[in-house]
A and B are shown apart, each in its own frame.
Chain A
Amino acid sequence: MPHRLEITLKPDIVDAEGETIRQKAQSYFNITLENVRTIHVVTIDADLTEDQLKTIQTEIFTNPVTQVSSYDPLNIDFHWCIWVGFRPGVRDNPGSTAVEAIENCLQIKMGPEYAVFTSKRFCVKGAGLTAEDMDTIAGELLANDIVQQWKIYDTHQWDPASGIGHIIPRVVLNHTPVVTTIPVGSDSELAKISDQRNLALNPNDIPTIRAYFLKKTIQDERKSVGLSDPTDIELEYISQARSDHCNHNTFQGLFRYEDLSTGQTVTEDDLFKTYIKTPTLELKEKKPWVISVLWDNAGAGRFDDKHHYVITGETHNSPSNMEAYGGAITGIVGVYRDPLGTGKGSKLVMGSYGFCVGPRDYEGELKPRLHPRRLLDGIIEGVKDGGNKSGIPTPFGQVLFDDGYLGKCLVFVTALGIMPAQINGEPAEEKKTSPGDLVIMCGGRVGKDGIHGVTASSEVFSEHTPAGHVQIGDPYTQKKMHDFILDVRDQGLLQFITDNGGGGLSSSVGESALFSNGCEIQLEKVPLKYEGLDQWEIWISESQERMTVAVSSENIDQFLALSKKHAVESTVIGTYTDSGKLHITYEGKTCAYVDLDLLTSGFPQWEFDAQWQPPERRGLYEPVLKEPKFMDALLCDLLSRPNICSKEWITRQYDHEVQGNSVIKPLVGEERDMTSDAAVIKPVLSSEKGLAFSQALIPAYSRIDAYHMTSCTIDEAVRRLISVGGNPDHIGGVDNFCWPDIQYDPVINPDGKFKAAQLVRSCRALRDMCMAYGIPLLSGKDSMYVDGHLPGKFGETRKVSALETIQFSATGVIEDISKCISMDSKIPGDRVYLIGMTRNELGGSEYYERLGFTGLNVPAVHPKQFIPCYKALFLAIDKEMVASAHGIYRGGLGVHLALVAMGGNLGMNIDLGHVPVDISEKALRNDTILFSESAGRFIITVAPENKNRFEDMFQDLPCSCIGTVTEKSDPFKIKGIDNKSLISTPVQDLKTAWKQLFGDLI
């Protein structure tokens, strides 16, 4: 019989969770609540004695100092009560740890028939609250109907004796697993079945699939193992492997690129090969520090003689858009498995985030599934729990708001790891499976979670997107597995390791079996969360926190003993072979028998039409604008804009110093409140070397040209790295593309050809910049279909596409961390230098955006001009001549000078007349100089005694002293080119403006 324990804080203790709900109800919905008390409900579905119940109540679930609890409903006064619990099958992390705790405490073993479920009850008080108010709070603040259920009680509906009753969200399938054979009589028949079963087979792939299964030799082979037509598990396997998410069909596609201004058409065959693979391999030849690229879960570079660093970046957009917390935590925990599964395994040393969402204060007519504010709250919390509970610091992150992300948000998650250069005398970055090695699944168990997640993320979000692919990551289980993997790695027990992400076992076993050229899997051995899964579901389930590992049979006992020590479940599920076949059996009966090379042969390339129309021919122009008169107010206004202002409230929720490796923190400056250009960590505690890391996102420039969007994004990431002391000769890159659908369709995607052209241009910029700056792409991913169909005010549905977005990550090794610097001005009297040319490049700028313009003159990157400056700056920092360095990014010179001054809490005296300006330009106006977002620029402060040495290093380069750092009591002053005072504002006022938008959030 189930038991329900209710726990709450004693009345005199602040209920911080309840108080947060009260505040959000007020600020989000203008609903005034007097008080909210939170009751934690633990429902124990197990036969326990009175004594046992009493023991776990006092020892585990109730803190005698702060809490009270009861197996009867707690008598807490309310006007309304809202109960929120998980839906069946949704990961209940506290429920699982409760089982462990009960087993520990009572020294018993709870069988699979027993379980613990957690839920919450909120007792709400407030005058005049309506049922509708409660619906709003429950549905739009406390719960998401995809993963949760809720009930609302008023005082009349509440029975104090039975309370919420006993709600047991247990999954009961009552289903006998069955393998279905699928007829392949005709293309249309298979296409129809693909639709019905949500297989998402590409229509162009269907003939190839059919041809394989209709081949006589194949049919004969199949007959010998008892198979005829393809089984569901086989088609699911092919569907997963051929999905855009796994196979990158878009990037490997054929693009017919037509420039409408010249009428010329070029064929671009395989963007990945042309613009990513070839340049990276070329650079690998020139850069001996590049260790491993283009094949593993993450790329690797040399950190020192004894260590390699590892990096990769991912997105988790579609799931986060549906269930922000679950999607985001699954995303960050998931990307952490990539370094863990790189080479023979890497220790995670840092993570970062990039969130792109609709305006937080959106009040327009469209109704996204989750309001951007709620979406952002959930994403922040998901990455917080995922990162913090993994014990991995999060010292860098960015947030960007734009209407385009109302259709689908972007959640970028990036992970860095470190591995020993050698394990048992063998290179740690190498791994392979060999015939006879055992196939082992480690970590979590398999349920229906995430089935068709991969194929869903390859589709535009609509009301038909299956909700079942939303999961909740479990950092606790994964942290145990992480520690275990590193232990067995160091003992030399791993032959091969990869993670189970998209596609589950289907992808991880399928890909690892390519090395030995075959495998035999006994699917019934896979441990399940609950009975009743079909074989194909076990095979493709994306249940989280799992790795697939190859261990040779002589090491298996030692491997399993260490698994037990770390309390990690590991199961042998098969053997690698050299048969050339993926052979899956279930209780002795074959249910899949496919040639492994089927996937690499004969599938048609995807094709796209791309049409480029240059911006001036699309009707873009420079606005007619007279110079503003109130520059102080304008500067403060820009500082307070969502994409510029302080987001300290997010940064501080993330543990950015765990592992003791922090060198340059995300928040710097005298008051430790300014955003750092980049992060530096010290991943090997005993070494004085560091790893610098930065990212950039400037999708606004895509409104003009994705070529320049991409080149400016890469340039910004590079400058961020150099600003903290990074070496321009050692920069590794990670590209993360997020693009709207590029497949033209006259009805559903009429601008598809333009978006395809933008993608081609973006790839060209990626190659051009990587070659110019010498950046090998250590890793990268693409996420297409960033579109949404949102209900509007009149019952219509409107398609909203995101801006073409690339997040670029840059990383590099710092030889001596004690030479790193931060962006804040340091000492009054220091000289302020501007490095780089300022041009008339206001197109797509924050300034224009503020005034409602797009403009035309988008910033361009000129690597040949920029690189000598970057090298000179690196040397100056290396010689410890620079007191602070800060790149000029979104918002331009005015905004970034202000940030440098705010960092030091010191005044500044600037003369725009000294700003280096390209002589080919016409005389620039004050507003152009202040707010142009020209690339390639830095603001540097230098001690007066270093003047000559510093200036010598920049001889013949665009670098001028434009002013000085002044005293704390002095204002932030800028003199215009006409020698008149343009801006004079106390630094604290600038800071107030910069903090006002989100300053009250914690």
Chain B
Amino acid sequence: MTPTDVKVLVLSGYGLNCDHETAYAFELAGATSSRVHINELIDGSVTLDHFHIMAFVGGFSWGDDHGAGVIQAVRMKTSLGEKIVSFIKNGKLVLGICNGFQTLVNMGLLPGFDNEYTARSVALTYNDCGNFRDAWVNLKTNPQSPCIFTRGMDQMEFPVRHGEGKFYADDAIVKQLIKNNQVVIQYATGTGAPAEIKFPENPNGSVYDIAGICDPTGRVFGLMPHPEAYCQLTNHPDWTRIKEKNKRGKQAEPDNMTPGIQLFKNAVDYMSRQ
């Protein structure tokens, strides 16, 4: 398969709001993406089997009124739960960003211990700082993680934009996540050291600085930061500074392949090799 043969389903509707830029990011990564309304998937006018990657995107599904991602999870699980599980078991990829990550954990698709994709064992709850927060964060990737999306990536910066992004789980669950290398990315300082729950490096109080986890296969990945918000150099908060320093020979010219696109490209390349 060539990358353009990789078909990506990007969910939309019911208050989701990052569908356009997520679809665009996958296109930049070489794939062919479609924005599909949740109801089109439920009523069968669009079939999941047709796709290779399914993206649960950011937004405020159902207003996030009863816990972020909760109602979307109920809706998807009730109507499409089994189809999505077999999608995963067929070797395809699922990505959840922000509200999408919240939905994946509420559906139980993550952490997916022992290939069991229905148990809710981790949560994304209210930020310790007590408020919604938009800020870029430093992230450190776990090189041992089986995650497809972050292959070959080390440190990166993406923005967080959420009020309920604090990763929480019982100690035993966290330990198991660590042991399985399912902790994919952690909030970090500028040098890549763990943030150690210090605000604002860890923007929400997540335990073990967890910003994103995958299932044991590495094919289901959820994260709170927004990779699709860094698809172009001018998205970065420092780009005017970087450009000026680069002009004076004080900083290397940044790569047009932003970490945001790289993350999507890893997924597209993986599928195109299957």
Contacts and interface: CB of A to CB of B under 8 A. Distances in A.
Given A94-B65, A653-B131, A660-B229, A100 B240 contact: no
Contacts of A821: 240
B65 A824 contact: no
A29 B133 CA distance: 26
B123 interface: yes
B43 to A, nearest CB: 8
Interface in B106-128: 106, 120-123, 125-128
A63 B14 contact: no
Interface in A598-657: 651-657
A653 B133 contact: yes
Contacts of B74: 59-60, 101, 104-105
Nearest to A651: B134
Contact of A98 (B66, B127, B226): B66
Contacts of A97: 62-63, 65-66, 71
Interface string A16-30: 110110000000000
A969 B159 CA distance: 30
Contacts of A943: 247-248
B63 A475 contact: yes
A104 B78 contact: yes
Interface string B35-68: 0010110000000000000000011101111110
Contacts of B134: 651-657
A851 interface: no
Interface string A52-69: 000000011101111000
Given A93-B63, A98-B65, A384-B132, A63 B123 contact: yes
A129 to B, nearest CB: 22
Contacts of B229: 657-658, 660, 662
A826 B241 contact: yes
Contacts of B248: 827, 943
Nearest to B231: A660
A65 B37 contact: no
Interface in A37-96: 42, 59-61, 63-66, 93-94
A65 B168 contact: yes
Contacts of A483: 12-13
B128 A16 contact: yes
Contact of A672 (B132, B136, B169, B235): B136
Nearest to B123: A65
Contacts of A101: 62, 66, 70-71, 74-75
A656 B229 CA distance: 11
B20 A659 contact: yes
Contacts of B128: 14, 16
B130 A660 contact: no
Contacts of A100: 62, 71
A384 B228 CA distance: 22
Contacts of B161: 388, 655, 657-658
A973 interface: no
A315 interface: no
Interface string B11-26: 0111111101100110
A355 B127 CA distance: 26
B19 to A, nearest CB: 9
Contacts of B65: 93-94, 97-98, 118, 476
Given A104-B74, A943-B248, A61 B168 contact: no
A817 B71 contact: no
A211 interface: no
A389 B245 contact: no
Contacts of A655: 132, 134, 161
B58 A14 contact: no
Interface in A676-695: 682, 685-686
Contacts of A668: 237, 240
B153 interface: no
A680 to B, nearest CB: 9
A94 B66 contact: yes
Q: Tell me whether chain B's interface is mostly helix, strand or loop, or mixed.
A: mixed
A565 interface: yes
B244 interface: yes
Contacts, number: 199
A699 B125 CA distance: 42
B17 A63 contact: no
A693 to B, nearest CB: 16
A255 to B, nearest CB: 45
A499 B139 CA distance: 43
A105 B78 contact: yes
B17 A390 contact: yes
A320 B201 CA distance: 35
Nearest to B23: A685
A665 interface: yes
A655 B132 CA distance: 8
A954 B168 CA distance: 59
A104 B73 CA distance: 10
B66 A17 contact: no
B205 interface: yes
Contacts of A178: none
Contact of B17 (A17, A479, A651, A880): A479
Contacts of B169: 65
B274 interface: no
B63 A567 contact: no
Interface in A939-959: 943
A660 B71 contact: no
B135 interface: yes
A826 B121 CA distance: 47
A65 B121 contact: yes
B131 A1002 contact: yes
A104 B63 CA distance: 15
Nearest to A941: B244
Interface in B226-252: 226, 228-229, 231-232, 234-235, 237-238, 240-241, 243-245, 247-248, 250
B193 interface: no
A651 B161 CA distance: 12
A647 to B, nearest CB: 14
A941 to B, nearest CB: 9
A555 interface: no
- Highest count of chain A CB atoms <10 Å: which of B13, B16, B74, B134: B134
A222 interface: no
Contact of B21 (A9, A389, A660): A660
A476 B68 CA distance: 13
A799 interface: no
A883 B59 CA distance: 36
Given A104-B75, A827-B244, A567 B13 contact: yes
Contacts of A16: 126-130
Nearest to A64: B120
A797 interface: no
A17 B130 CA distance: 6
A97 to B, nearest CB: 4
Contact of A663 (B21, B25, B234): B234
Contacts of B243: 818
Given A93-B65, A105-B74, A653 B60 contact: no
A822 B205 CA distance: 31
A427 B126 CA distance: 46
A480 interface: yes
A375 B185 CA distance: 39
Closest 5 CB pairs of A and B: A391-B17, A660-B21, A65-B123, A94-B65, A476-B63
Given A101-B71, A672-B238, A820-B240, 11 more contacts: A20-B131, A64-B120, A65-B170, A97-B63, A97-B71, A388-B60, A389-B60, A392-B17, A476-B62, A480-B15, A483-B12
Interface of A: 9, 13-14, 16-17, 19-20, 42, 59-61, 63-66, 93-94, 97-98, 100-101, 104-105, 107, 118, 384, 388-392, 474-476, 479-480, 483, 565-567, 651-665, 667-668, 670, 672, 682, 685-686, 817-818, 820-822, 824, 826-827, 880, 883-884, 943, 1002
5 contacts: A60-B66, A476-B15, A663-B235, A827-B248, A880-B247
